A and B are shown apart, each in its own frame.
Chain A
């Protein structure tokens, strides 16, 4: 991101429905409720929503083509108002892709305000169907599928290498799940809100070594949305604008077998760019909203972004520093490991949580006085690293 666009775009409204298994709640309802709530939250008039961007949904191709073909525009009463409906999808990194697209549309004047929305229903799909589907996402049909790779295995490969290089222990890895659950206990939208002990994680079955069952996210139904507008327009709204102060990113691979730096990925470079544009550093951050999905990604991101030294993130988390009341609140919605993994929406929920915290709307889990937040995203087989810095002011 170019420095000249620092603080130009702001999130001014958010919406979300609870994540979990809701077989009787149509996916369309999750999308509409989230979108409607986000627009209402912003206080923007409907006729200023010039662009609607539904992120990709995987459970049903027909539902997804409806998203591409403007169903939300019609159902939300935006026909004749909205100038463009377009799909943006980068898997788990769709949060960053949506934000970059929205900010770009606003910077060029192509849109005044943008609705970004996503809903998913794969928590209601039969388990084996999902195991099979997740053996195709980001996995090469020629070079990887013949060997029985799936998403759990992809993350297990990464976790194994990270632990091998850094000496991170099983307990330290499992402590990420415990830390995230502490936050989810305070999140009424989370799929899992009951306390989780370290022993529960370590005693759960090995799924793909070294990952235990509780270290693998659970797929969920859910939906979330956010509204982006210009900083200038945001100032006249009755809401706390959450300014995009800087962002950075890099794509490192498609096939996980091609990744030669599996314990680091591209977070250091992405963070350097994002913090550089923002003119801020890790020490200025009140919250780290890190894209989890599996515990190792929180640890890698904490180290590579400069919050912990290499190999020390595990102990940092085990010691409780990222818990509610800790020095660095992390992934405060509970992440995909506790709020539930809504596919493309898993990262969008993390982004929405970043905005929610900075707006001061996080209820029981509100981090008091939070002004600056770093947020990450990654998609596919952790093909990319995205880092964004948000703030309630443009310093």
Chain B
């Protein structure tokens, strides 16, 4: 396997369970036991009720493309050899949103509202990135 030269996530102590789950090909999010809010990306405190009773739950992995862009020019240096690629914000069925790449289809075929499903990209021994493909 060639050396992976793109940016890897700079993690925090409270996000570690997310990355550990991703490595096991599970997409997880936080659920606030106090106010029932769903939270992603992981937070130290609940952004809704400001409490700290956040628990980890498995997501269905289903969602839809909230918005996207196909990058054709002027990407960050480590992405120059992968043009064109799709960056997208996906809204999970659980209501939370995350930044991702849509893969597994022609970039031009991606649409807002398109149903997608999580896919796990083991980019290094340590990190697995959560990406999405058409459902």
Contacts and interface: CB of A to CB of B under 8 A. Distances in A.
Given A148-B76, A257-B99, A262 B66 contact: yes
Given A148-B85, A157-B89, A262-B67, A143 B73 contact: no
A160 B41 CA distance: 22
Interface stretch (A6-14, A205-213, A268-276): A205-213
Contact of B68 (A131, A160, A213, A256): A160
Given A128-B77, A142-B15, A148-B76, A164 B112 contact: yes
A148 B6 contact: yes
B99 A147 contact: yes
Interface of B: 6-12, 15, 41, 66-79, 82, 85, 87-89, 97-101, 112-113, 123, 129
Contacts of B7: 141, 145-146
Interface in A233-271: 255-258, 260, 262
Interface of A: 127-128, 131-132, 135, 140-150, 152-153, 156-158, 160-161, 164, 205-211, 213, 255-258, 260, 262
A158 B76 contact: no
Contacts of A260: 97
A147 B76 CA distance: 10
A144 B73 contact: no
Given A148-B79, A149-B99, A255 B41 contact: yes
Given A131-B77, A153-B87, A143 B70 contact: no
B75 A257 contact: no
A44 to B, nearest CB: 44
B8 A146 contact: yes
Nearest to B8: A146
Nearest to B72: A206
Contacts of A211: 69
B12 A142 contact: yes
**8 shortest A-B CB distances, which residue pairs?**
A156-B69, A135-B76, A161-B67, A257-B99, A148-B79, A164-B112, A141-B10, A209-B70
Contacts of B97: 257-258, 260
A131 B74 contact: yes
Contact of B41 (A143, A145, A152): A143
Contacts of B41: 140, 142-143, 255, 257-258
Given A142-B9, A157-B89, A209 B67 contact: no
Contact of A143 (B67, B74, B98): B98
Contacts of B69: 153, 156-157, 160, 208-211
A204 to B, nearest CB: 10
Given A142-B11, A147-B87, A158-B67, A132 B77 contact: yes
Contacts of B77: 128, 131-132
9 contacts: A142-B11, A144-B99, A146-B129, A148-B79, A152-B71, A160-B68, A209-B72, A213-B73, A262-B89
Given A143-B99, A145-B76, A207-B71, 6 more contacts: A131-B75, A142-B10, A148-B75, A206-B70, A206-B73, A255-B41
